[in-house]
Amino acid sequence: MSTDVYILTGYLGSGKTTLLQQLLAYLRDQSSNVVVMMNEMGEEDVDGEQVEGFGFPVKKMLNGCICCSIRGELTENVKEIMQNIKPEHLIIETTGVADPIEVVDAMTHPELYDRMNLKGIISVIDASRYLELTSFFQAGGALIKTIRNQVKYADLLIINKVDLVDEDILTKVKAKLQETNSHASMHVTIRTEMDLEKLLQVKRLAQSKEMSNTPSIPVQKTIGRFSPLDKLKQTLGLKTNQPSLFHSIDTFSYHFKGPVDAEAFEDFLYDLPKTIYRAKGYVQFIGQDDLISFQQTQTQVHLFPFSNFGPKMVAVFIGEGIDKDNIIEALEKCYRTS
């Protein structure tokens, strides 16, 4: 029996993990045999803590992107899963800056071909940020190419957070998505709520022959680090190899020393510079028993209680040109000193 494989993609903060949680709850009710693979750019895992409670095996791949720097690790992990677990469903959630077509390519190993059925690429779109993120005047070229590829190669587009936009903006987002991918079905959602059976019935639109004839777009080759040769070129002020989103995307984690002031911390999240694309993690507020899970995506901040004290109290930041010292200095002002 072959395993149905779903690739869940979408830019940072679009709602992928929320969708994954809903899908796992649905599959648990169906008594399905599921394995989840989750990819985080940094050394700390935040989102994985939220899905382990569903009772399914979760394989975490940290400090790299499965479409490039740890691509071989993806292939080997899938081979191991197919051999030892043989799940009915394998759900792969990529990091938010991954090119899904590279992930598909990484999974076309001869030993995997007859053992898996790639059902489709599901891309989650943040309706409130999509136009800004794909604007030539406000986003870098590599970023635009990555987000476009997440749409271009998708078999199902989930336009999320529509409650945060006016109807005219939503119309523009739909038109732009249609222009990039006219074949994928679109679903408009709030907090990614949709008919999950329709999601599971997604079918690949692109034929493998069509994919193989598609020119490779040089978007990502490394994750926040250069090759030794490119490091030398950068030091000498010379032009490095083809531009890559991961050449400019950086990430770091901060471990809390104790509880922080709730109001000060929320203000800190809202005041983060625009160069921070995503902040997430777990924190404890002074005078509160529950751990707090927080998510920040430039213009949006979400805080909600998380009763499981298993996760570390940690903050993870993903962005471009990050001034780590300034962020830590601002964050540490959230500790109450008197």
pLDDT of residue 43: 56
pLDDT of residue 314: 87
d(CA 172, CA 209): 32
Q: What is the pLDDT of residues 191-202, one digit of tens each?
A: 999 999 999 999
What count of other Cβ atoms lies within 10 Å of the Cβ of residue 286?
Answer: 14
Give the global pTM.
0.70
Higher pLDDT, 181 or 113: 181
Provide mean pLDDT across the span 163-177: 97
Provide mean pLDDT across the span 152-163: 95
pLDDT of residue 181: 93
Q: What is the pLDDT of residues 201-245, one digit of tens each?
A: 998 875 433 444 443 333 333 333 444 444 434 333 444 444 444
Domain residue ranges of the chain, discontinuous segments joined by +: 3-207, 249-335
Torsion of CA 186, 146, 191, 306, to 10 degrees: 160
What CATH superfamily is the domain 3-207? P-loop containing nucleotide triphosphate hydrolases (3.40.50.300)
Topology of domain 249-335 in CATH is: Hypothetical Protein Yjia; Chain: A;domain 2 (3.30.1220)
Q: Place 190 in a pLDDT band, splitting at 50, 70 and 90.
A: very high
Q: What is the pLDDT of residues 98-143, one digit of tens each?
A: 888 777 766 665 566 668 888 999 999 999 999 998 886 666 677 7
